[in-house]
Amino acid sequence: MKITAIGAVIVLLGVIVALAPEIPHWRISGTRSTPVEAIAGTDIAPGCPRQSARVAIIGDSHVAGSRMEGAGAPFGTVLAKTLSGQVEVERYGIGGATAADGARRWQGRDLPEVGLVILAFGTNDAAPRGWLRSKTPVPTSHFKAVMTQMIEGWRAKGHQVALLAPPPGGSAAITRRLAPYRIAVGELGASLGVAVLDPAEAFAACSAAQPVLTHDALHMNAAGHKCLGEWLAQRLCPQHR
């Protein structure tokens, strides 16, 4: 069957329309994060850790600082530095980790010297690359069940728990795929009485720092980590100067 010139144009336009949401908000120095509303979670604040306390951030490549572009430090390190030695931050981040991976890794383990545990999962559960990758998103019901298990587990060991929502992505499609998991984190916070920390709020507060993502439109660059780390310090210890 012959394809006419008009038919070819229609097909091309269809491809362009389909691909448009996948195109990142690229800039020379990185990718702008997609503006989103902060998730509805809870007004509970984690509270400023006591002097010389330890905070553990457990999660994925965002925690690890993977693929960072530019000279800088992961947001957990920025958090500790901003609080001028008031807290020691331990980072446990593994690239590609889902909530289930985190639960398996920490089953039966504890961090006895840690007061606050921040759980940062959801990005990989969302399979944010969509059809550009072969990964399948984890059902949000399963994501919430596993997160609930971890929250209750850490609480049972005497730790305070907070949740860090997945940061918004650098394209409309990535951000859309992440949205259900961001919402799920907010719902968990509201139902379990857990503080929710949203990177979208941090990015909105330091809009002049954009672009805050790397050219892959998913990971934070040095500016993004600095923005989030300093915002977390203010969110945890608003009285700190």
Question: How does residue 47 score in pLDDT terms, banded at 50, 70 and 90?
Answer: confident
Q: DSSP characters for 62-119?
A: HHHTTT--SS---HHHHHHHHTTTSEEEEEEE-TT--HHHHHHHHTT---TTEEEEEE
Listed by start position, the domains of the chain span 5-236
Spell out the CATH class of 5-236: alpha beta
Predicted pLDDT at 15? 42
Give the pair of three-digit tokens for residue 57.
């951030």
Predicted pLDDT at 18? 52
Predicted pLDDT at 133? 67
Q: What's the chain's average pLDDT? A: 89
Alpha-carbon distances, residue 48 vs 71, 98, 115, 131, 205 (angstroms): 28, 28, 11, 42, 20
Can you give the pTM of this predicted structure?
0.90
120 phi/psi in degrees, rounded to 5? -125, 85
Using the 8-state DSSP alphabet, how is residue 238 labeled?
T
Lowest mean pLDDT among 20-29, 110-119, 151-160, 166-175: 20-29
Instruction: Give the residue from 219, 241, 240 showing the smallest Cα distance to 75.
Output: 219
Beta-carbon neighbour count of residue 194 at 10 Å?
22
Give CA–CA dist 124/237, Å, rounded.
29
Residue with the bigger pLDDT between 17 and 144: it is 144
